[in-house]
Amino acid sequence: MADQDILFTPIEMGSITLPNRILMAPLTRNRAHSDGMPADMAITYYRQRASAGMILTEATQISEMGKGYIDTPGIYTEAQAAKWREITDAVHADGGRILIQLWHVGRISHTSVLPGGRQPVSSTDKPAKSQTFTANGFEDCSAPVALDAEGIKQTVQDYREAARLAKVAGFDGIEVHAANGYLIDQFLQDGVNDRTDDYGGSIENRMRLLQEVLDAVGEHWNPGRVGVRLSPLGQANDISDSDPVAHFSAIYKMLNDRNLAYLHVLESFPGNDNADGRDKIDSLRGHFGGFYIANGGYDGARARDSIAQGHADAVAFGRPFIANPDLPRRINLDAPMNTPDQATFYGGDDKGYIDYPFLQNSDVAAE
């Protein structure tokens, strides 16, 4: 049965060959050191999940100013790149593929986690009606400063340098995080972007930062190793848009013209996983002809259907990969899943991180 299973049919994603269509979504786990260095146990964590068709790392900040939560990793120093290299080497040694998600949180941050107690930066100076996780627990986001022209130029340079370091770190590619109400999304969506300069107003202006970032990372990576993540219907982190279908249609078309490795879309959130939301996602899907990764509430059966119907080329799984490091095998065998311990999702030690059991042969009748 496995040989006929579309989830286990290899496929070309840009310049990368995937052995299966079950991908590991980015998962923030808050277990890095305070200076952005990945912890040693992250080597084991990612190596355990090397059977994924592709691993997307947890969101990784591109600069000190891109940080929004405690104990998240960075990719802005040579030392961080060297530690990430230990992780990529371990994944590759077990036959895996791993891409890093480049992240700038924008206004979803707090002065206590930023250098010198600085204010966060964004497309706007309006504070987000949201919270972030600090040393004191959940706190309201600090009021941001709207990036000026020089600040935008520096941010683009930070993406460029992070992309260079990602290559030093041995990754197979990079994903630009433009979803979930973080910095690039704060420029894309008009519910937040209130600018009147060349980065505000029309959708062509609002997607200018994303284009400049893609140009910058493209100096170090060919398009076949670069992906973008979007959440067109998401309202996480106080994000919104007046006409997401019209505006994201333009964004999808722009990305389609760039011949990127893929577009990764977080399709469903609580409250929009309904017929109207699915219709909007399907409408947008028609504007991108490249490799498409679906994400949001999928299980093995839904993933097979989505790929078989031509909606997606692969599906990214989030929480199932937390508790099931061998998720592809479990889906292939329709085997029982481990139950995730939500209390250990964010922060802590190896408990709930690298101690979930693998499927044993005695757990199934036959492969």
What gap in Å lies between CA 97 and CA 193, rounded to an integer?
36
pLDDT tens, residue order, the chain (367 aa): 345 699 999 999 999 999 999 999 999 999 999 999 999 999 999 999 999 999 999 999 999 999 999 999 999 999 999 999 999 999 999 999 999 999 999 999 999 999 999 999 999 999 999 999 999 999 999 999 999 999 999 999 999 999 999 999 999 999 999 999 999 999 999 999 999 999 999 999 999 999 999 999 999 999 999 999 999 998 899 999 999 999 999 999 999 999 999 999 999 866 566 788 889 999 999 999 999 999 998 999 999 999 999 999 999 999 999 999 999 999 999 999 999 999 999 999 999 999 999 998 756 654 4
3-class DSSP state of 60: strand
Decide if domain 2-321 falls under CATH 3.20.20.70.
yes
pLDDT of residue 362: 58
Question: Whole-prediction pTM value?
Answer: 0.96
Q: What is the DSSP letter of 223?
A: G
Pairing status of strand 16-18 against strand 98-103: unpaired
- CA distances 292 to 96, 280, 281, Å, are 20, 16, 12
What gap in Å lies between CA 125 and CA 130, rounded to an integer?
14
| Helix (H), strand (E) at residue 73 | none
| 48 contacts 58 by C-beta, under 8 angstroms | no
Catalytic one among 46, 182, 252, 353? 182
What gap in Å lies between CA 111 and CA 68, rounded to an integer?
9
| Helix (H), strand (E) at residue 93 | helix 78-93
Q: What is the DSSP letter of 171?
A: -
Tokens 């190793």 correspond to: 225
Cross-strand bridge partners of residue 177: 229
What gap in Å lies between CA 218 and CA 221, rounded to an integer?
5
3-class DSSP state of 168: helix
Q: Locate 33 and state its tokens.
A: 């050191």
Residue 182 among the catalytic residues: yes
